[in-house]
Amino acid sequence: MKPVETPLRRRAERFDAIVVGARVAGASTAMLLARQGLRVVALERSREGSDALSTHALLRPGVVQLRRWGLLDQVVASGAPPVRRTVIHYGDEVAAIDIASRHGVDAFYAPRRTVLDAILAGAARAAGADLRFGVAVTGLVRDDDGRVRGVEVRGPGGRRTEIHAPITIGADGRRSLVARAVGAPGHWRGAGAGGLVYAYFAGLDVDGYEWLYRPHVSAALIPTNGGEVNVSATVPAARFAHDVRPDVERGFWRVLAEADREVAERVAESTRTSRWYSFPGQPGYHRRPFGPGWALVGDAGSFMDPTGAHGISSALRDAELLARAVVRAQGGASGEREALAAYQRDRDALSARFFQAVDAVASYRWDVESLRAELLAMSTEMSRESEALTLLDRPPALRLAA
Ligand SMILES: Cc1cc2nc3c(=O)[nH]c(=O)nc-3n(C[C@H](O)[C@H](O)[C@H](O)COP(=O)(O)OP(=O)(O)OC[C@H]3O[C@@H](n4cnc5c(N)ncnc54)[C@H](O)[C@@H]3O)c2cc1C
């Protein structure tokens, strides 16, 4: 559906920033802007507390962000178990890696999205942001020179209104209306894509995160809230379409057994506690994330195949890079274009090599040696990223010196 574009109306609510979408990217951005004293509204068309189509392993940069923002305690209190070890199966070879204590993080977590998204929404509200669920943005509002000045919304009951602000932030996911409406150009495009099926299981012992790789298949076991484990099984998107999608349950068991027969037997002995969820796969992309009066964050601006398990961490990182840029621009510390261009530069610099590595793994054209090299590259990039996020806490002069 083509987004609606309307001329500016005079009577409308006004804020300093509008955020479209209020999940990991949107709620975090709204929280960070509100913490800096901006008047923010976040508009989310789904119901508050609803689930998202996503597994939810957080890697170090994501946990670093939650710690820095003072939200990690809530994740721990939710009962998401600490993950202190990553076990990687390269075919029949198994490597166990203990999580090192670095950047104030000694364990990873994989809270359910119903838990994490609610924590972020609560933190945004506590900071003073106005979060509205069940409200769909239907189009952008522009002034005569084409600058985005706000959004048109349809609330419960179908009533249409406008909301205006100097900046409209699309945190509205892979099918972003904001990105489509502004015609945000793509500047990187991936080729690899995996299609996957997942479900939750109880009574399944896991030793931290378990990632399983064998030529043309992969799988993951991710411990989460309530003693449950998220188990996913992935194949290249082309195979998924004809071999898994027609019967996702059969496809799941077949692919999991291909990845590792013993692990499949362990999972089969546990109890499935959820329905099946499936994702057909989508190649990664990076879009230009800003223009006059608008910006993009989270999946709206960049997406990587889920095999990288980094989308949430990227969203939490970019929420902060963007919020800082918006605050600089609105406070007059720099021009809007300059501040938002710096946001793009930092985002791209922190994700370029990671993006390549994820794309290579998602191509499923690797052997064990090249897979190892790509996973090592991802790990190196995440250390660099965690370091960069930690440095944000230092005053700018010290950051430059570091
Ligand atoms: C199968 C799968 C598995 C994944 N596994 C992992 C993993 O293990 N670890 C990890 O870190 N990442 C993972 N990811 C990636 C992760 O899910 C995303 O990167 C993350 O959800 C991005 O968050 P977001 O807030 O940008 O977008 P979303 O979570 O998609 O939220 C966007 C929100 O915008 C709202 N919205 C859209 N349009 C409008 C509108 N017009 N008006 C109002 N609201 C609107 C939607 O309702 C939605 O709630 C996975 C993704 C998939 C698909």
For the chain, report the end-to-end CA distance as a whole number of angstroms. Answer: 48
Shortest-distance Cα residue to atom 26 of ligand 1: 298
> Once rounded to an integer, what is the mean pLDDT over residues 66-83?
97
CA–centroid distance, 397 to ligand 1, in Å, is 35
**DSSP assignment letter at 48:** T
Q: What is the DSSP string of 84-110?
A: -EEEEEETTEEEEEEPP-BTTBS-B--
Helix (H, G, I), strand (E, B) or coil at 234: strand
The reported pLDDT for the residue numbered 9 is 55
Report the C-alpha gap between 126 and 146 in whole angstroms: 34
CA–centroid distance, 172 to ligand 1, in Å, is 8
Q: Say if residue 10's pLDDT is above 70.
A: no
CA–centroid distance, 399 to ligand 1, in Å, is 31
> Once rounded to an integer, what is the mean pLDDT over residues 308-333?
93
Shortest-distance Cα residue to atom 12 of ligand 1: 311
The encoded tokens of residue 329 equal: 């621009």
| Local confidence band at 401 (pLDDT 50, 70, 90 cut-offs) | very low
Q: Say if residue 331's pLDDT is above 90.
A: no
> Once rounded to an integer, what is the mean pLDDT over residues 341-369?
94
Distance of CA 391 to the CA centre of its chain: 21
Identify which of 18, 31, 43, 54 to mutate to test ligand 1's pocket (most ligand atoms within 8 A of the CB).
Answer: 54
Identify which of 23, 200, 277, 322 to mutate to test ligand 1's pocket (most ligand atoms within 8 A of the CB).
Answer: 23
Identify which of 55, 60, 209 to mutate to test ligand 1's pocket (most ligand atoms within 8 A of the CB).
Answer: 55
Report the C-alpha gap between 375 and 371 in whole angstroms: 6
Q: Say if residue 146's pLDDT is above 60.
A: yes
CA–centroid distance, 54 to ligand 1, in Å, is 7
Q: What is the DSSP string of 11-41?
A: S-EE-SEEEE--SHHHHHHHHHHHHTT--EE
Residue 297 near residue 319 (C-beta atoms within 8 A): yes
Scored b (16 or more CB within 10 A) or e, 157-195 reads eeeeebbbbbbbbbbbbeebbbbbbbebeeeeebebbbb
> Once rounded to an integer, what is the mean pLDDT over residues 328-352?
92
Q: In this predicted model, what pLDDT tens digit does every residue of 222-275 receive, in sequence order?
A: 999 999 999 999 999 999 999 999 999 999 999 999 999 999 999 999 999 999
CA–centroid distance, 265 to ligand 1, in Å, is 31
Q: Say if residue 113's pLDDT is above 50.
A: yes
Q: What is the dihedral of CA 226, 230, 231, 234, to 10 degrees?
A: 170
The structure tokens 């509008």 sit at 18
Identify which of 31, 50, 172, 285 to mutate to test ligand 1's pocket (most ligand atoms within 8 A of the CB).
Answer: 172
Q: What is the DSSP string of 113-161?
A: HHHHHHHHHHHHHHTT-EEEES-EEEEEEE-TTS-EEEEEEE-TTS-EE
Report the C-alpha gap between 364 and 121 in whole angstroms: 36
Q: How far is CA 50 from CA 103, 137, 222, 310, in A?
A: 31, 18, 20, 21
Q: How far is CA 124 from CA 19, 47, 77, 120, 389, in A?
A: 12, 16, 18, 6, 20
The reported pLDDT for the residue numbered 157 is 75
Model's pTM, two decimal places? 0.94
Report the C-alpha gap between 72 and 93 in whole angstroms: 34
Beta bridge mates, 87 = 96, 210
The reported pLDDT for the residue numbered 398 is 47
The reported pLDDT for the residue numbered 2 is 52
Residue 99 near residue 86 (C-beta atoms within 8 A): yes
Q: In this predicted model, what pLDDT tens digit does every residue of 160-216 receive, in sequence order?
A: 899 999 999 999 999 999 999 999 998 899 999 999 999 999 999 998 999 999 999
Report the C-alpha gap between 151 and 254 in whole angstroms: 46
Q: Say if residue 7's pLDDT is above 70.
A: no
CA-based max dimension of the chain: 66
| Local confidence band at 68 (pLDDT 50, 70, 90 cut-offs) | very high
Amino acid sitting at position 334: S
| Ligand 1 atom closest to residue 21's alpha carbon, by position in its atom list | 34
Q: Say if residue 280's pLDDT is above 70.
A: yes
Q: Say if residue 402's pLDDT is above 60.
A: no
Shortest-distance Cα residue to atom 22 of ligand 1: 299
Q: CB under 6 Å to ligand 1: residues?
A: 20-21, 23-26, 43-46, 52-57, 136-137, 171-173, 177, 196, 279, 298-300, 306, 309-313, 315
